[in-house]
Amino acid sequence: METLANRSSLPLRTLHRRKPAHYYIKFVLRYFLLIVIGFLMFSPFILAMLGTFKTDLEITAFPPKFLPEVWHWENWSRVWNTDIGQGGTFPRWMFNTAFLAITISVSQVVFCSMAAYAFARLKFAGQNAVFNFMLATMMIPGAVTLIPAYVLMTKLHLINSFWSLILPGLVSAGGIFTLTQFFRSIPKDLEEAAFLDGATHMQIFRIVILPLARPAILTVLILQFQGMWNAFLQPLLYLNSPDHYVLNVALSIFQQQYKSQWNLTLVGAMFNAIPIMILFFIFSRYYIEGVAYAGVKG
């Protein structure tokens, strides 16, 4: 009884700090396991990054060496200053890719959000039919529309122009569907209160809906940016001159010219991978929040 009395007289904070030893053992083992798994999954990127500072002999050596004997920083400047002719340089290719990715992702956020608001909140004739038809277009393989789309761009004289990628990328069924499901989860009481204050649909969309849908909008923005940044087939078909190449197409041609120099090829791959990784790490919290919220409320 005295022991229990003495323990009850201790501060609650002191009692809370006393945890059994197996709790700390499990805590350490859990995070150690997560660190090991994370290192194993991230090791290919680490090896590729270290390979950019090695010579070709060090990359292909067996047994492999983790760190280079001499750090060849000049590999990065050499690749950055590469010119395959007709304006084909890495700065130009990165600008082309960033311009297309930003333009298409921002355009899709603008147009997809307006279409999603119409499907989620407005009532018009044939609404369900139009929405279902839009969803059905997501089931069509891209290879089916590849040739008709190329013929259309040829007749519009848009081949070797950025418009051949921008115009078809202004809106997507996937972006409309994602934002529609998110908008439907927003309580209608907020809109009704805004209606009573005399707000129009455009004002409600801009002032009420968009701020609440920030996680979903950033999710669509990141996905569309990543999709355009990693695009290969359509830019390969539509953009023919070296000064119009995007990074993935340029890397394919660069690899053919420098196929025996793996260190330079790895540097080019890092130019393609690092920007999209930085973007994800900056907005990862909003991306995970948007996916989780849409999955619970959708």
Task: Judge if pTM exceeds 0.85.
Answer: no
Q: Residue 220: how many CB atoms within 10 A of its CB?
A: 26
The pLDDT, as a whole number, for residue 5 is: 47
pLDDT at 141: 85
Contact 251, 272 (CB under 8 A): yes
Q: Residue 17: its pLDDT value, please?
A: 59
Residues of the chain with CATH 1.10.3720.10: 80-297
DSSP code per residue over the chain: -HHHHHHHHS-HHHHHH---HHHHHHHHHHHHHHHHHHHHHHHHHHHHHHHTTS-HHHHH-SS--SS-SS--THHHHHHHT-B-STT-BHHHHHHHHHHHHHHHHHHHHHHHHHHHHHHHH---TTHHHHHHHHHHHTTS-HHHHHHHHHHHHHHTT-TTSTHHHHTTTS--HHHHHHHHHHHHTS-HHHHHHHHHTT--HHHHIIIIIHHHTHHHHHHHHHHHHHHHHT--HHHHHH--SGGG--HHHHHHHHHHHTTT-HHHHHHHHHHHHHHHHHHHHHHHHHHHHHHHHHHHH-
Specify the pLDDT at position 116. 92
Burial of 18 (0-12, 13-18, 19+ CB in 10 A): exposed
List per-residue pLDDT tens for the chain, 298 residues long: 444 445 444 454 544 556 777 777 888 898 899 899 988 888 888 888 888 888 888 888 877 788 888 888 888 988 888 887 777 888 999 999 999 999 999 999 999 999 999 998 888 888 889 999 988 988 888 888 888 999 999 999 999 999 999 999 899 998 999 899 888 888 888 888 888 888 888 888 888 888 888 888 988 888 899 889 999 989 999 998 889 999 999 888 887 776 677 888 888 889 888 888 888 788 777 666 655 555 444 4
Q: Would residue 88 be called left, alpha or beta, if left means φ above 0 and alpha means ψ between -120 and 50 degrees?
A: beta
pLDDT for residue 246: 92
CATH class of residue range 80-297 = mainly alpha
- pLDDT at position 176 is 92
pLDDT of the residue at 290: 57
